[in-house]
Amino acid sequence: MKLKVRLVGIETGFTPVVTINHLDAIRYDLHPRDRVTVETIGKGKRKVIAAVDVISTDKSIKQGEVGVLVEVTEELSLKEGDIVDIHPAPKPDSLKYIKRKMDGEALSARELDRIVKDIVAGSLSEVELSFFVAAVVMNPLSLEEITGLTRALTRNGSRFSTKKRPVVDKHCIGGIPGNRTTMIVVPILAAFGLTLPKTSSRAITSPAGTADTMETLADVELSLEKMEKVVAETGACIAWGGSLGLAPADDRIIRIEKPMSIDASGLMLSSVMAKKFSVGATHILIDIPYGRSAKVSSRFKAEELKQHFLSLGTLLGMKLTVMLTDGNQPIGNGIGPVLETRDVLAVLQNKPDAPQDFKEKSLRLAAELLEFAGGLSKRASYEVAKDVLESGSAWKKMQEIIAAQGPPKEQFKLGHLRTKLLATHAGTVKSIDNKAISKLARLAGAPITKGAGLYLHKKVGDKVKKGEPLYTAYADSTEKIRHVKLYHEELKPYRVK
């Protein structure tokens, strides 16, 4: 059926959706959530699979019209009054593969590729993709399946290209608040002369991802062409992977994982490696922090994950090194985009109050990559990394990267409301709960409110007096401050004895 387009300025955030009048629904035997193909008419036909919503009155969408939500509008470049052809769409073949995975069967590379193709095409609804995520959580992917999924994610997306070699990359599996080492390591290595087309994520369950923090200094939503230009000019970039079309199916999977804070090992491995494969990385460093309140809770589990990464790297033909690092407490002092940026700038600018744990970890990671990809000895690599940082060369390179990517769309300020959370008794800080700190920073408003978060005054091993501040919370509303105070009592993020 041919219908006239009415633009509806609503985003679903995932599934393409169109709305039709109830009389048209009856006429063409369409029901709410049915799958339809929406196709443009004329030269250069384009189409997208969408779900149907039915309008029960004639007030908003009249008979003969179709309400087109933002995702469909953008995909088909539609204008008000355009005519589109809508017809029922068959269920994709990938659904039977998802059902098989739910039953515990292994999937072939071809079947995984079909699932990924349908994710990218928008042929799977949010509910159907949720079943796929649930299936691989309940029935973990084998190494062969992870390899097949990684290749499928890469194959069905854009690729970054550069003739420079080596192409270096790093990734931390996350779970440690404040761990913005990428923003120190990248300018150190780029100042040394290595190439780093770094794509980073936004926060899923944390108070900030690297992209959220870098966004307070520069534009991170780059096109692939802009990214290639920035890297050609400066040797590096720090961009949000979601804007580049690199492994786009992975970004849609992440959207499903986010509400449930799901982080399945197989999906995480394929996600990380697909992004590295997509930028043509030849030498990759994986940082696996472990600790009682970290994402990886023990040395044994960290070693196990390390072997998975190394095996996957071998199967994909990628050079990989893995560092197991201390994940028993947050890194640096700031938790939340603006606060973490302050730590980054303090280290890059060699300020005396720069957090030393953050600086030291960044230097160790940079040294590992200088040895692995830069051809330096273990002893020389650390000294070179330290010299590049302390001479100001890394800060100069970071300024070049910021200028090339472009300034942020707005200047972000620290939350104007604050409260200090105090120690109830004197003693020594024995532990800090990473998960509790992340929860409290998010309650303060991070990362949505860039200036929200926590500033940690005390770290593990520090002496503390009764009534002395453990951390300060920053927010933009009294309600968020109230929530931080309330949950501070419940979560007890600091253990002082």
* Residue 55 pLDDT greater than 70, yes or no: yes
pLDDT tens-digit series, residues 424-464: 999 999 999 999 999 999 999 999 999 999 999 999 999 99
Catalytic position from the list 219, 251, 263, 433:
263
| pLDDT of the residue at 242 | 79
- Whether residue 147 is predicted with pLDDT greater than 90 in this model: the reply is yes
pTM as predicted: 0.87
Over residues 318-346, the pLDDT tens digits come to 999 999 999 999 999 999 999 999 999 99
Which residue, 373, 368, 208, 196, is CA-closest to 276? 196
Structure tokens at 15: 């599934």
Beta bridge partners of 5: 66
- With a CB cutoff of 8 Å and minimum separation 6, the contacts of 165 are 195, 282
Burial zone of 185 (CB within 10 Å; 0-12 exposed, 13-18 middle, 19+ buried)? buried
Q: Name the residue among 461, 447, 471 with its Cα closest to residue 496.
A: 461
pLDDT over threshold 70, residue 228: yes
C-alpha distances in angstroms, 337 versus 208, 209, 366, 415? 6, 8, 22, 11
Write down the pLDDT at residue 259: 67
User: Is residue 122 pLDDT above 80, yes or no?
Assistant: no
Q: All domains of the chain, ordered by start, with CATH?
A: 2-88 (2.40.40.20), 94-139 (1.20.970.10), 168-245+265-405 (3.40.1030.10), 417-496 (3.90.1170.30)
Beta carbons within 8 Å of 415's beta carbon, 6+ residues apart: 444, 445, 449, 451, 452, 453, 474, 475, 476
pLDDT tens track for 276-285: 999 999 999 9
* Lowest-confidence region among 52-56, 121-125, 151-155, 238-242: 121-125
Task: Give residue 261's pLDDT.
Answer: 66
Whether residue 243 has pLDDT greater than 80: no
Question: CB of 421 within 8 A of CB of 319?
Answer: no
pLDDT tens for each residue of 11-44 = 877 678 999 999 999 998 999 888 899 999 877 7
Known catalytic residue at 263: yes
